[in-house]
Structure formats: C-alpha cells, structure tokens
Amino acid sequence: MIQLEHITKRFGKLTVLDDISFAIENGGTFAVLGPNGSGKTTILKIILGMVLPQKGEVVVHDNKVLKTWDYRKAISYLPQIARFPDNLTVNELIKMIKDLRNMPSREEELIELLGLEKFLDKKLGNLSGGTRQKVNIVLTFMFDCPILILDEPTAGLDPVSLIRLKDLIEKEKAAGKIILITTHILSLVESLADEIIFLLEGHIHFRGSLGDLAEKTGEKDLEHSIASLLE
C-alpha cells in the first residue's frame, strides 16, 4: 500500500505539487501522466525519499516513511536517467547492485530475455543508450519487490525490447505487485494501465480507469482523451 497525504512541494517560488493526496491499496499498474513539468517524476522521488516535500506525509505499508530508509527494500526503481560509472562492466555493475541490496536475484533469466549475454564484459561507457536501458531493466526486475517504480522505462528501447518490457510488467502485475509508471508512450498506457493519475498545474486533474476517462471526455482513444484534459 502507498498513500500520499496532503503533499506540497515547491522548488523556489514554483509550486510543483499542491496538496496532493491519493492512495493505492491493491496491486496493479498505475500510470502517472501529465504534461512536462507537472510533477510526475517529483511524486515518484517523494515516494522514494529522494525529494522531501514541504508539507505532507508518505505512508508505505501503513508506516510513515519520510526521513527513513529501510522501507526502500520493498521498492525496485527504474529512473528516467540512470547514471553509473562508465568504467564499470555490466557484470561488475550487476554484482555491485546485488551486494548493495543483499537480496535474492534472478538476473540470469533477464540477461537472456533481453539478449545481453555478449555485453556482460563490456564497459558501460561503450554501450549504446538502448543497451544501457536494458541493463537498467535487469537491475530493476531482478529483485522480488512488491512495489516497482518505473520512470520513462521505454527510453531507447527497440520494438522487441519494448515487448519484453511489457511482458515483464504484466508478469509482475499478475503477481499482485504495485507498479507506478510514467511514460509518454500512450500505447503502453493503453495496454498496461489499470488506472491513470493525471497531473495538471500541481493537482490531480483526473484519476480513474481508461473507461472512466473515455466516459469523462467523450473521446474514443487515449490520445484524444488526454488532449481533452489539457484543453
């Protein structure tokens, strides 16, 4: 369970989130959408404890978690831009993350799924952006965590890898996990999302299923429904 209670976040004079509250009590895929600068990544980083709000509380599994850290063991995180030392090999990075998290892992099957075997001894600085993203996907999905936070996970992926990612998300959802995802790929939202949380001007402008959104906007597809919310 994840609950945000009256979250307000300002950067200087700019209020990015203004008294935001919502709760996710059951497993499923929840797409956090909105225009650039609407606070999508900020919400994810507040849940992770990477950004502290000026006001409000974050509750994970019935525990208030702001300024604590041990709850993060329950979360796997795929950032929009993951930065690791370029001189590390893929194998060295995977081993480092395994040592840091000290949890059972299943990296072998993910490496095979994403076709990364031939890159394991290559340095990160010599990899393409798409291959780096595949490595980041391995790091995210190799641990059995009940919460997954995916910030623009499709960046640089080819069509086959995108299908593999969708399959991984579906498998985790079937296991009852909570998956929070931000993405500009609306086809991904249409195929995966159980609910949409749409942010606009610091507020939750809409929350509900794709069917609820279609009924609210009178539009037949997600692209036009989102455009309608922005008008």
Query: Which residue, 71, 68, 78, 98, is CA-closest to 183?
Result: 78
Residue 4 — φ and ψ, nearest 5°?
A: -110, 130
Over the stretch 172-184, which tens digit does the pLDDT of each residue have? 999 999 999 999 8
Residue 59 — φ and ψ, nearest 5°?
A: -120, 125
Confidence of residue 84 (pLDDT cuts 50, 70, 90): very high
pLDDT value at 82 more than 90? no
Element (H, E) at 165: helix 159-174
Mean pLDDT of 112-136: 96
Confidence of residue 169 (pLDDT cuts 50, 70, 90): very high
pLDDT value at 231 more than 90? no
Residue with tokens 């041990």: 70
Q: Report pLDDT for 69.
A: 92
Mean pLDDT of 73-97: 94
Structure tokens at 219: 């539009």
Helices marked H in 63-122: 90-101, 107-113
**CB-hemisphere CA count at 13 Å for 193?**
28
Query: Which residue, 183, 122, 126, 98, is CA-closest to 149?
Result: 183
Mean pLDDT of the chain: 95
Q: What percent of the chain has pLDDT over 90?
A: 93
Rounded Cα distance between 221 and 191, Å, is 12
Mean pLDDT of 188-207: 95
Are 173 and 27 spatial neighbours (Cβ–Cβ below 8 Å)? yes
Q: Report pLDDT for 83.
A: 86
Amino acid letter, residue 168: L
pLDDT value at 162 more than 90? yes
Task: State the CB neighbour count (10 A cutoff) for residue 207.
Answer: 14
Rounded Cα distance between 68 and 24, Å, is 20
What pairing do the DSSP bridges indicate for beta strands 14-24 and 147-151?
A: unpaired
Confidence of residue 80 (pLDDT cuts 50, 70, 90): confident
Confidence of residue 30 (pLDDT cuts 50, 70, 90): very high
Are 28 and 173 spatial neighbours (Cβ–Cβ below 8 Å)? yes
Confidence of residue 89 (pLDDT cuts 50, 70, 90): very high
Residue 28 — φ and ψ, nearest 5°?
A: 150, 180
- Domain 2-230 fold is Rossmann fold (3.40.50)
pLDDT value at 212 more than 90? yes
pLDDT value at 81 more than 90? no
Read off the pTM: 0.95
Q: Report pLDDT for 115.
A: 96
Q: Report pLDDT for 202.
A: 92
pLDDT value at 29 more than 90? yes
Instruction: Name the residue ranges covered by the structural domains of the chain.
Output: 2-230
Rounded Cα distance between 101 and 54, Å, is 29
Query: Which residue, 195, 231, 229, is CA-closest to 211?
Result: 195
